[in-house]
Structure 1
Amino acid sequence: APTVYNVAFHVSYFWDGRSESLEDLVLEGPLQNPNEMDTDWDEVLAKLGRDQALKRRFQRLFPEGLTPRTVSRAIAAFLRSLVALDGPFDRWLRGDEQALSERQKRGYRLFKSYGCIACHQGVNVGGNMYASMGVMGDYFADRGGEITEADLGRYNVTGRESDRYVFKVPSLRMVVYTAPYFHDGSAQTLDEAVAVMARYQLGREIPAEDRADIIAFFRSLAGRHPLLEAPQ
């Protein structure tokens, strides 16, 4: 699953972009999903309300008290604080030539020359645009199996035929930690993911050594995590 680090820089949320803000993501998303938290707002608010100290602190910030909207605003504010951009690649961009290994520098050059950067760009190296899954080949036919609702991508949001199989381009920040890959979780490793993307998005077969160099570059995109401590 994609990381929650650096989500503040995304153009929208979920693979199909159905939530346009972090507040909507929290309000409408994982909490009610039977495959994730499998609960509802009544249950969540009841649990939070039993903690009287938390309830008092919360009400100082949100006078209207615990509601789905105020809790979503609070969680969204926390998510915006999860910025982890100071990785080796960022330090290299600022002039530290020693921040990247020669292999990572070679991987970055390959990342650009193969064309990956056309979609994975910007401060988050992705997350700021949509793209069709299978520009240069029929990914879904080759994958096999039934076409699911999730496979329809952005079409589920807009109803436009041109958005069928269109998905938000994921950020590559922290990608080395977030297997499996793609909206269907079909790629178990980064090597597999790079090979599939090259074949279906770029119409190219990338040699194994080049894929390894590109993945080495991906490791340089992982930023430093903020220290998370429970509030007192």
Structure 2
Amino acid sequence: MRAMSRMSRHSVLWGVLVPATLIGGERPQLTLAANAPQEKDSELLKDARDTFEPLPKDMATREFPVSPERVSLGRKLFFDPRISVDGTVSCSRCHLSALYATDALPKSHGARDKMLPRNANTLFNTALQFKQHWRGDFENVEAQAKHALTGPGFGNPDFAAAMARVNAITGYPELFKKAFPDEADPVNADNWGKAIGAFERTLVTPSRFDEYLGGKADALTPAERNGLRVFMDIGCANCHSGVGIGGSKFRKFGVKEDYWKATGSKEIDKGRFDLTKDAADTYTFKVPGLRNVEMTAPYFHDGSVDALPGAVRVMARVQLGKTLSDEDTGAIITFLKSLTGKPPADFITAPVLPPAGFK
């Protein structure tokens, strides 16, 4: 029987080994990776299963199924730039296969090279998250895809103009009929969102961590299992939990100090406040999912931090008020790398699109 819970054990280590405030006001530093006692693999696995969940085979729901016809259509629409106002932007412009469904830019660029307001999150596993976009602007990936048609990404003046572009391309009307056979006029913005959403709901990237949660203890190396323990005990899993290792709640960015002082952000983004006008939402953002985080730099809503070690240290500093040792930082990163999965085959290569000629 364990003498104390993982959180109470951490509290004892923190309170006894390091005073709450050091001389000069510096944040306390504790190397959990060095001080954590050895534990049975079964205990760590139990704690992990209490905190995280393995990925499903896809992200379909009853409301948003992933029929082959919808997925096939959505995949084509996802990669097709001809629906944007200047013919240069597709969903894939901000979500490149070679960059794990990101674009590696601090902030993405839309139609007519207009800079978008925030960093592009990866689309892998994102349909599992409770909201979409950094501020939670959209309820699901379908709503986000529909909005993109008239947002700064695609730049169309309205949905009618966007659908006129779709209808003008040989092949799309028939594909929409196959995907939505019960509708008399299936080429519409709602179905555009549903088709692209169906494709995105197939973009699941299981990793060795999922094997571990399934009971295969040696799916993670000893160093990765140690990093998992440090990740949980330091407090990262208080927000980064569940199936996405995040993506299930809103949190203020900068609980212990203003985030921009740690990130060096050039602009101060008030986050969800700009949507709700509720003072309690100031500097609040959706907690990002950490699956594939090794591959999705730069980090945070404004892409202000280039590398993962810096991002880990910023989070500990502004959210938990802790200065991580090099050893703990390294341990956490070692664990985070175990969350990297293989990109889906249908995302790695672009499909052949309907004929380029217009009617």
TM over 0.5: yes
Provide, for residues 129-179 of structure 1, a one-character-per-residue CA deviation record: whole Å limited to 9, x for no partner. 01001111122355566654xx11111121100000000000001111111
Tell me, yes or no, if structure 1 residue 184 matches structure 2 residue 305.
Answer: no
Tell me, yes or no, if structure 1 residue 156 matches structure 2 residue 277.
Answer: no
Residue 192 of structure 2 aligns with an amino acid whose one-letter code is: V
Q: Distance in 2 between matches of 1:87 and 1:142?
A: 31
1:89 is matched with 209
2:243 is matched with which residue: 108, 123, 144?
123
1:225 is matched with which residue: 328, 332, 343?
343
Q: Which moved more, 1:114-123 or 1:74-83?
A: 74-83
Q: Secondary structure at the match of 1:167?
A: strand
1:70 is matched with 191
Tell me, yes or no, if structure 1 residue 105 matches structure 2 residue 225.
Answer: yes
Q: Secondary structure at the match of 1:224?
A: coil
Q: Which has the higher contact order (CA 8 A, sep 6+)?
A: 1
1:208 is matched with which residue: 326, 331, 334?
326
Provide, for residues 160-217 of structure 1, a one-character-per-residue CA deviation record: whole Å limited to 9, x for no partner. 0000000000000111111100011111001010000000001001112221221111
Work out the number of aligned pairs and report it: 227
1:13 is matched with 132
Residue 13 of structure 1 aligns with an amino acid whose one-letter code is: Q
Q: Secondary structure at the match of 2:300?
A: coil
Deviation, structure 1 residue 54 = 2.7
1:197 is matched with 315
Contact 1:6 1:124 in 2 (8 A): yes
Deviation, structure 1 residue 58 = 1.1
Give the number of the structure whose alpha-carbon radius of gyration is greater.
2
Deviation, structure 1 residue 8 = 1.8
What TM-score do you get using the length of structure 2 for normalisation? Answer: 0.59
1:3 is matched with 122
Contact 2:250 2:287 in 1 (8 A): yes
Unaligned runs of 5+ in 1: none
Q: Residues 66, 77 of structure 1: CA spacing in aligned structure 2 closer, same or farther, 3 A cutoff?
A: same
Q: Residues 92, 144 of structure 1: CA spacing in aligned structure 2 closer, same or farther, 3 A cutoff?
A: closer
Q: Which moved more, 1:213-222 or 1:123-132?
A: 213-222
Residue 26 of structure 1 aligns with an amino acid whose one-letter code is: A
Deviation, structure 1 residue 106 = 1.1
Residue 188 of structure 1 aligns with an amino acid whose one-letter code is: D
Contact 1:2 1:175 in 2 (8 A): no
- The percent of aligned pairs where both chains have the same amino acid is 37
Q: Distance in 2 between matches of 1:39 and 1:175?
A: 32
Residue 227 of structure 2 aligns with an amino acid whose one-letter code is: G
Q: Which moved more, 1:36-45 or 1:67-76?
A: 36-45
Q: Residues 195, 143 of structure 1: CA spacing in aligned structure 2 closer, same or farther, 3 A cutoff?
A: closer
Contact 2:265 2:304 in 1 (8 A): no
Contact 2:263 2:314 in 1 (8 A): no
What TM-score do you get using the length of structure 1 for normalisation? Answer: 0.89
Contact 1:89 1:99 in 2 (8 A): yes
CA RMSD of aligned residues (A): 2.1
Deviation, structure 1 residue 43 = 5.2
Q: Distance in 1 between matches of 2:262 and 2:226?
A: 31
Residue 142 of structure 2 aligns with an amino acid whose one-letter code is: E
Q: Distance in 1 between matches of 2:263 and 2:223?
A: 32
Q: Which moved more, 1:153-162 or 1:46-55?
A: 46-55
